[in-house]
Amino acid sequence: MYTNQESCLRAWLGEVEVIITPTFTSKFDINFGANATAAREAWAAAAKIFTDAFSDDIHINITVDATKAGVFGESFPNFLSISYAGLFQRVSADASTQNDAIASGPGGSLTPTDPTNGQGTWMLAKPQAKAIGLIIDDMSDDGGTTFGVEALSRSPVQSPREHLIFRVLPRTRSPK
């Protein structure tokens, strides 16, 4: 994770990357108590998996909360709607790797023809919309995650954290 100054310098140098910025709530620290620092570090390690794998030049801003209410975890992505034609056009125009071309090319998972014949509603998480240029990159909240303190304290691996972060992140691009 970089400071805003470091991020600006990296952008000026032509280094493109996803920057994930967590905003930890006061309840996060209260509910994790003495383990709050370790929980923050585990969250950062899980986020790094995604920043290492994707190269879209966007900021993803996630509110991170915790509860003791017997919840394993929840995610709250902010969604935007788009027409299928708009989605196909944006994803095709944004394709920059061979995997992107395969996904939106013949036989790919995103075909030129709307599989719902115009009857579907296509939703993108806000970071997805940023990644394909539907909305401008900004520093406003893109969604949130809430972790169940009891469930995560029993899990020695990052995978629950990764899963909840993944639910807020863009999934329309291929990894680096």
**Which helix (H) or strand (E) segment is 126 a member of?**
helix 126-131
Q: Is 100 left (phi over 0), alpha (psi -120 to 50) or beta?
A: alpha
State the Cα–Cα distance between residues 36 and 74, nearest whole angstrom.
18
Q: What is the CATH number of domain 4-78+136-166?
A: 3.40.390
Q: What confidence tens digit (pLDDT) does each residue in 17-75 have?
A: 889 999 999 999 999 998 899 889 888 988 888 888 887 889 999 999 998 877 777 88
Residues in the chain: 176
123 three-class SS? strand
pLDDT tens-place string over residues 120-140: 889 999 999 999 999 999 999
Structure tokens at 117: 């014949």
**What is the average pLDDT across 144-166?**
63
Cα 139-145-151 angle, rounded to 5 deg: 155
Q: What is the pLDDT of residue 173?
A: 45
How confident is the model at residue 159, as a pLDDT? 54
What are the C-alpha distances in Å from 64 to residues 36, 149, 151? 12, 12, 16
- The confidence score (pLDDT) of residue 164 equals 55
Q: Per residue in 102-132, is it b (16+ CB within 10 Å) or e — as a string?
A: ebbeeebebeeeeeeeeeeeeebbbbbbbbb
Would you state the structure tokens that stand for residue 149, as one six-digit string? 């303190």
pLDDT of the residue at 171? 46
**What does the domain layout of the chain look like in residue ranges?**
4-78+136-166, 80-123
